[in-house]
Amino acid sequence: MDTLQQKALLRLAHDLSRGDAKVIRAMKAAIANPPSTTEEVGFYVSGNENEFENCFRKLCGLLEDREHVIGVEDKYCFDIFEQWTEAGQLERLPNSLFKAIPLDDTFGDSSPENRAEKLRQYFPNAAREIDQAFAARETPLLSLDTAGGDTLLFVTPEPDTAERWRDVELGETHDGESLSVRSPMWHKFWKFIAYSSGLKLGKPPADLPGDRPLRQLSELAFLRDS
């Protein structure tokens, strides 16, 4: 873990927690003495992980524990929509979402093929409308990419924070996977929907917002020059 990554972890802890002193203190301690066990990290640890990998995942867990981040497991992925409205993060859900996914878990008498087609037809627009709704509330939606696992993490920072960190690769795992702050990871969510519903959805629709090119830490002047 290099100095720039250490700076990034501390600044990210501050920015995404909106100055939560408990999160910041915990990250300072983690950087000074990187966690190395499943209990310390809060994610499964095989023993092959590098220090940055464990520290970043530790930060993600801290943010979720302090309710600065909402996480959703693959098999319960539909729950995220109600979590957003119940937490007051969204006033309402777009109609296109109900066309794609009836949130009462009923699809009527639709065949699996028809259900899959409704998702392909309506979910891309629902995802865009959700992104737009968060942006309109000045809490843009982002994802924290921990490189694998069965949980997807969403965060809604202030607009300047989102602009600062959107689509930035912070580092890599021990086996070369990206650890990043990304635009909403709807392509991964698509896989979650397939798993949760048992539908054969195939590849994400072409019009579903996808992963964007990532910037590197060395490109961030606010961090590099601090």
Taking the model in full, what pTM does it have?
0.90
Give the tokens for residue 183: 């635009």
pLDDT, tens digit, for every residue of 147-182?
978 899 999 999 999 999 999 999 999 988 999 999
Q: What is the pLDDT of residue 61?
A: 93
- Whether the predicted pLDDT of 84 surpasses 90: yes
Q: What is the pLDDT of residue 109?
A: 53
How confident is the model over 177-196, as a mean pLDDT?
95
Q: Who's near 14: CB < 8 A, 6+ residues apart?
A: 24
Q: How many CA atoms lie within 13 A of 106 on its CB side?
A: 3
Q: What is the pLDDT of residue 182?
A: 96
pLDDT, tens digit, for every residue of 23-43?
999 999 999 999 989 889 888
Task: Give the ranges where 66-184 is alpha helix by DSSP (H).
Answer: 79-86, 95-100, 112-136, 159-165
Q: Which residue has the higher pLDDT, 111 or 64?
A: 64
**Which candidate, 35, 208, 222, places its Cα nearest to that of 123?**
208
**Which candidate, 188, 143, 193, places its Cα nearest to that of 168?**
143
- Which helix or strand (DSSP H or E) is residue 215 part of? strand 215-216
Q: Which residue has the higher pLDDT, 183 or 116?
A: 183
- Whether the predicted pLDDT of 108 surpasses 70: no
Share of the chain above pLDDT 90, in %: 72
